[in-house]
Structure 1
Amino acid sequence: MTVESGYGDIFGPQVPRTSDGDQTATFALASASYRDNPVADIKKADNEWHQTTLKPGRKWGRIFRPNLGEAYSRAVVDRMLGPGRKPLIQSFGAEPQVVVEHALAANNIRKDRDNYLTVVMVLCGLLFLPGLLVWLLIFSIRTTVAKRDDKRAGALATTLLVAVGALAVIFLIRMPFTGFWAWYARACVVMPVIGWFWAKQICERTAKDLRGRWDSLLAGSSVGAKVPEAVPTSPGETKADQLRQSLAKLAAEQQSNSVFYAGPKGILGMGTRWGSWQLAEDLVPADPSREIHPFRSWDVIRAIHDQLRMLERNTLNTGGFPKPSIRHWIVTPIAESAKAVSRPEGTDVEAFQIKTHAIQDICNKQQFGAGDRHYLGVQWTLWDGQLIITMMITVTVLHETLRIEVTGHALGPVNGLFTGKPEAPTKEVQKSFKPWETRKVNLPLVNTDEVVRLAVRAPISWYPPLLNWLGGTIALPEPFGLRHAWADQPWRHRFMADDALRAATPVLRVVHAAAIRVLEENGVNTEKFGTRSAFLSTAVQDASPSKADVYDA
Structure 2
Amino acid sequence: MTDGFDFSPGAQVPLLGSAGETAATFALASAAYRDAEIEKILDADNEWHKSKVNPGRSWAKIFRPNLGEAFSLAVRDRMLGAGRKPLIQSFGTEPQVVVEHCLAAHRIRRDRDNWLSAVTVLCGVLFLPGMLVWLVVFQLRAAVAKRDDKRASAIGTTLLIAVGVAAVIFLIRLPFTGFWAWYTRAAVVMPVIGWLWAKQICERTAKDLRERWNSLLSGGGVGAKIPEAVPGSPGESAAERLRQALARLSAEQQSNTVFYAGPKGILGMGTRWGSWQLAEDLVPRDPGKEIHPFRSWDVIKAIHHQLSLLERSPLNTGGFTKPSVRHWIVNPIGEKADSVSRPEGTDVDAYQIKTHAIQDICNKQQFGGGERHYLGVQWTLWDGQLVITMMITVTVLHETLRIEVTGHALGPVNALFTTKPEAPSKKVQKSVKFWETREVKLPLVNADEVVRLAVRAPLTWYPPLLNWLGGSLTLPEPFGLRHAWADQPWRHRFMADDALRAATPVLRVVHAAAIRVLEENGVNTDKFGTRSSMLSNMVQEAAPRKADVYDA
Rounded Cα–Cα distance in structure 2 between residues aligned with 1:189 and 1:549: 66
Task: Please list, as runs of the form range in 1=range in 2, the aligned pairs for 1:328-477 lying within 5 A after superposition.
Answer: 328-477=327-476
Q: Is the 8 A contact 1:18 1:222 kept in 2?
A: no
TM-score normalized with structure 1 length: 0.96
Question: How do 1:139-154 residues align onto structure 2 when only pairs under 5 Å count?
Answer: 139-154=138-153
* Closer, same or farther: CA 334–135 of 1 in aligned 2, 3 Å: same
Find out whether 1:28 has 2:24 as its counterpart. Answer: no
Greater shift after overlay, 73-82 or 460-469? 460-469
In structure 1, the partner of 2:186 is 187
Match status 1:110 vs 2:115:
no
Q: Which residue number in structure 2 is paired with residue 297 of structure 1?
A: 296
| 2:21–2:380 Cα contact (<8 Å) kept | no
Q: How many residues were matched structurally?
A: 539
User: What displacement does 1:39 show?
Assistant: 0.3
Corresponding residue for residue 236 of structure 2: 237
Distance 2:48 2:18 in 1: 32
3-state SS in 2 of match to 1:193: helix
Question: Shift of residue 19 of structure 1?
Answer: 5.1
Tell me if the contact between 1:52 and 1:475 (Cα under 8 Å) persists in the aligned partners.
Answer: yes
Conservation of the 8 A alpha-carbon contact between 2:21 and 2:93: no
- 2:177 counterpart of 1:173: no
- Give the structure 1 partner of residue 251 of structure 2: 252
Distance 1:27 1:105 in 2: 14
Q: What SS is found at the alignment partner of 1:93?
A: coil
Cα contact 1:21–1:220 (8 A) shared by 2: no
CA distance in 2, matches of 1:504, 1:120: 62
For residue 102 of structure 1, give the secondary structure of its aligned residue in structure 2.
Answer: helix
Match in the other structure for 2:82: 83
Residue 449 of structure 2 aligns to which amino acid in structure 1? E
- The 1:378–1:87 alpha-carbon spacing in structure 2 relative to 1, beyond 3 Å, is same
Alpha-carbon distance in structure 2 between the residues aligned to 1:109 and 1:18: 28
Q: Deviations over 1:104-128 (max 9, x none)?
A: 0000000000000011011101111
| Cα distance in structure 2, aligned partners of 1:19 and 1:322 | 15
What's 1:162 paired with? 161
Query: Gapped runs of 5+ residues in structure 2?
Result: 1-8, 10-14
Letter in 1 for 2:118: V
Q: Check whether the contact 1:332–1:371 (CA below 8 A) recurs between aligned residues.
A: yes
Query: Percent of pairs identical after alignment?
Result: 79
What corresponds to 2:135 in structure 1? 136
SS in 2 for 1:311: coil
CA shift for structure 1 position 22? 3.8
CA–CA separation in structure 1 for the residues paired with 2:369 and 2:18: 42
Quote the Cα distance in structure 2 between the aligned partners of 1:173 and 1:279.
92
Tell me whether 17-26 or 215-224 shows the greater mean CA deviation.
Answer: 17-26
- For residue 343 of structure 1, report the CA deviation from its aligned partner: 0.6
Matched position secondary structure for 2:310: helix
SS in 1 for 2:119: helix
8 Å contact kept, 2:45–2:484: yes
Q: CA RMSD in A?
A: 1.2
- Any idea what the Cα deviations from partners look like across 1:73-103, whole Å, max 9, x if unmatched? 0000000000000000000000000000000
Matched, 1:124 2:105: no
**Partners of 1:337 and 1:540 in 2: CA distance:** 31
The residue matched to 1:461 in structure 2 has which SS?
Answer: helix
Instruction: Specify the alignment match of 2:12 in structure 1.
Output: none
- Alignment of structure 1 residues 517-528 onto 2, 5 Å: 517-528=516-527
Report the residue type matching 1:439 in the other structure: R
Amino acid at match of 1:312: E
Distance in 2, Cα, partners of 1:518 & 1:537:
19
C-alpha change, 1:21 and 1:308, in structure 2 (3 Å) is closer
Deviation at 1:543, TM superposition (A): 3.9
Deviation at 1:510, TM superposition (A): 0.2
User: d(CA) in 2 for partners of 1:177 and 1:63?
Assistant: 34
Query: 2:44 is matched with which residue?
Result: 45
Deviation at residue 544 of structure 1 after TM alignment: 1.4
Alpha-carbon distance change, 42 to 438 in structure 1, aligned in 2, over 3 angstroms: same
Deviations 1:273-293 (A, max 9, x none): 000000000000000121000
Q: What TM-score comes out, normalization by structure 2 length?
A: 0.97
**Partners of 2:217 and 2:253 in 1: how far apart?**
23
Alignment of 1:535-550 (within 5 A): 535-550=534-549
What displacement does 1:20 show? 4.0
Determine if contact 1:314/1:320 at 8 Å carries over to the other structure.
Answer: yes
User: Is the CA contact 1:261–1:331 (under 8 Å) kept in the aligned structure 2?
Assistant: yes
Checking the alignment, whether the CA contact within 8 Å between 1:33 and 1:69 is kept in structure 2 is yes
Q: Deviations over 1:457-489 (max 9, x none)?
A: 001111111111100011100000000000000
Q: CA deviation at 1:436?
A: 1.8
Contact 2:252 2:351 in 1 (8 A): yes
Task: Report the AA paired with residue 545 of structure 1.
Answer: P
Consecutive unaligned residues in structure 1, runs of 5 or more? 1-9, 11-15
